[in-house]
Chain A
Amino acid sequence: MEPFTTLTSRVVAIETTDIDTDQIIPARFLKTTTKIGLGKNLFADWRYEEDGTPKSDFVLNQPEVQGVQILIAGDNFGCGSSREHAPWALMDYGFQAIVSTSFADIFRNNSLKNGLLPVIVDEDTHQQIMSLAEEDPNLELSIDLASQTLTLPDGRQIEFPIDTFSKTCMLEGLDQLGYLQKQMDQILKFEESYGDRVNTLSPSSGDERRETRD
Chain B
Amino acid sequence: MSKPRTLFEKIWDQHVVVDEPGNPAVLYIDLHLVHEVTSPQAFQGLRDKGLTVRRPDKTLATMDHSIPTTPLDVPIADAIAAAQIRKMEQNCREFGIRLFGMDSPNRGIVHVIGPEHGLTQPGMTIVCGDSHTSTHGAFGALAFGIGTSEVEHVLASQTLLQRKPKTFEIRVNGRLRPGVSSKDIILAVIAKNGVGGGTGYVFEYTGEAIRSLSMEERMTICNMSIEGGARAGMIAPDETTFAYIKGKPHAPQGQAWEEAVALWRTLPTDEGAVYDRVMELDANELTPMITYGTNPGMGMAINAEIPDPMRVTVSERPTLEKALTYMGLEGGKPLLGHKVDVVFLGSCTNSRISDLRLAAGLIEGKRVADGVRMMVVPGSQQVKKQAEQEGLDRIFRDAGADWREAGCSMCIAMNGDQLSPGEYAISTSNRNFEGRQGKGGRTFLASPLTAAASALTGRVTDVRTIME
Inter-chain CA distance A103–B229, complex, in Å, is: 10
Would you call A76 and B159 a contact (CB within 8 A)? no
- Summarize A's interface: helix, strand, loop or mixed: loop
Q: Which of B18, B31, B157 contacts A200 (CB 8 A)?
A: B31
Q: Which of B22, B146, B196, B316 contacts A76 (CB 8 A)?
A: B196
Per-position binary interface string of chain A over residues 21-36, scored 1 when its CB falls under 8 Å from any chain B CB and 0 otherwise: 0110011101111110
Would you call A214 and B100 a contact (CB within 8 A)? yes
Would you call B148 and A84 a contact (CB within 8 A)? yes
Please judge, given known A-B contacts A16-B319, A104-B229, A105-B231, whether A181 and B58 are in contact too, CB under 8 Å: no
Would you call B248 and A201 a contact (CB within 8 A)? no
Inter-chain CA distance A187–B103, complex, in Å, is: 36
Q: Which of A31, A35, A102, A202 contacts B196 (CB 8 A)?
A: A102
Would you call A201 and B150 a contact (CB within 8 A)? no
Count B interface residues, CB 8 Å: 92
The chain A residue with its CB closest to the CB of B42 is: A84
The chain B residue with its CB closest to the CB of A75 is: B196
The chain B residue with its CB closest to the CB of A17 is: B319
Q: Which residues of B contact A17 (CB under 8 A)?
A: 315-316, 318-319
Interchain nearest-CB distance for B377 vs A (Å) = 16
Inter-chain CA distance A212–B380, complex, in Å, is: 13
Per-position binary interface string of chain B over residues 44-71, scored 1 when its CB falls under 8 Å from any chain A CB and 0 otherwise: 1000010000000111100001100000
Please judge, given known A-B contacts A22-B434, A105-B200, whether A15 and B129 are in contact too, CB under 8 Å: no
The chain B residue with its CB closest to the CB of A45 is: B435
Q: Which of B44, B106, B165, B250 contacts A206 (CB 8 A)?
A: B250
Q: Which of A141-149, A150-158, A172-180 sits within the interface?
A: A172-180
Asked if A5 CB lies within 8 Å of chain B CBs, one says no
Would you call B17 and A186 a contact (CB within 8 A)? yes
Which residues does B use to contact A, with CB under 8 Å? 17-18, 22-24, 26, 28, 30-31, 37-38, 40-41, 44, 49, 57-60, 65-66, 78, 80-81, 83-84, 87, 98, 100-101, 103-106, 117-121, 123-124, 129-131, 145-150, 152-153, 156-159, 161, 163, 165, 195-196, 199-200, 226-227, 229, 231, 248-253, 256, 295, 297, 315-316, 318-319, 322, 382, 412-414, 421, 431, 433-436, 439
